[in-house]
Amino acid sequence: MKSVFVTRRIHESGIALLKKAGYKVDVYAKDQIIERKELLRGVKGRDAVLSLLTDRIDAEVLDAAGPQLKIVANFAVGFDNMDLKAAAERKIVVTNTPSDKVNESVAEHTFALMLSLARRIPEADHFSKRGMYKGWSPSLLNGADLYGKTLGLIGAGRIGSMVARRAVKGFDMKLVYSDMRPNEALEKEYGAKKLTQDALLKKADFISLHVPLLPSTRHMISAKQFALMKPTAFLVNTARGPVVDEKALLKALKAKKIAGAGLDVFECEPAIDCDLRDNLELKAFENVILTPHIASATEEARRDMSEIAAKNIIAVLKGKAPLTPAKVG
């Protein structure tokens, strides 16, 4: 009987598919990030591993599993936790879990951050709950409109395009984007204009990041980029934390070079701040909204991710091609 190790409890629908296919399935008992020694022990002798983005899957892990390992199915759209080269050298398939349900969930969360920043929703909530509301005032917690503003997408793939649809159709926003390749559908349907990244940063009122974490995208938003942005601009990151240089972001916020930021991911995740000794903390800024990497955290998306990961494992263990192989670019 083929054996599958799941590094953390996930939606039961995927586990049920694996068991129905006749595989022995073991799930790490603790509902927490698996410790390295437990990961190395858990993968031993397995035919498949279903990993999470919090698991560093490298040559050591692959060798600990053994030569019978056929697939590592990553329970995430991104796969920067995977050593793709080491897997390829060992002829191990790596898959991820992209889907329209997951992408729509991330796009919704992106827009929730944009709205919350612009209309100062968390500030207003705290203000009200602390008993500070004493009556209506024309200057009380004034925010910014989305209507008619310019949204700049850095990365115009599936998720970026879904954010674009909400922006243009829902809020009549203008749309600019930067990407390695033109997105003709985005241009035709939503009137989007492709710009260089520098031109986009100068023009956009809201800047939303939708790129994978690669050597070329690490710290792609740093001091130089913040200097180009409008002081009224908002930055939203639901991609990967290290795409933004946290030190540079903190300095930009302190100097009021930008109006605020909405972050679902962090450079030194799970730590929210990389360096607590510098007396600059993201948590100290009222115009920063922080959510704990939950952009795809809906019941529908998590079920879909679980089932996609399971179907990839079933396909590969049956000698078939995976549904969603992890591919760069």
Residues catalogued as catalytic: 240, 269, 293
Coil vs helix vs strand at 213: coil
Coil vs helix vs strand at 92: coil
Residue 19 main-chain phi, psi, to 5 deg: -70, -40
Coil vs helix vs strand at 260: strand
Q: From CA 198, how far away is CA 204, in angstroms rounded?
A: 10
Residue among 58, 50, 8, 56 at smallest CA distance from 33: 8
DSSP assignment string, 234-288: EEEE-S-GGGB-HHHHHHHHHTTSSSEEEESS-TTTTSS-S-GGGS--GGG-TTE
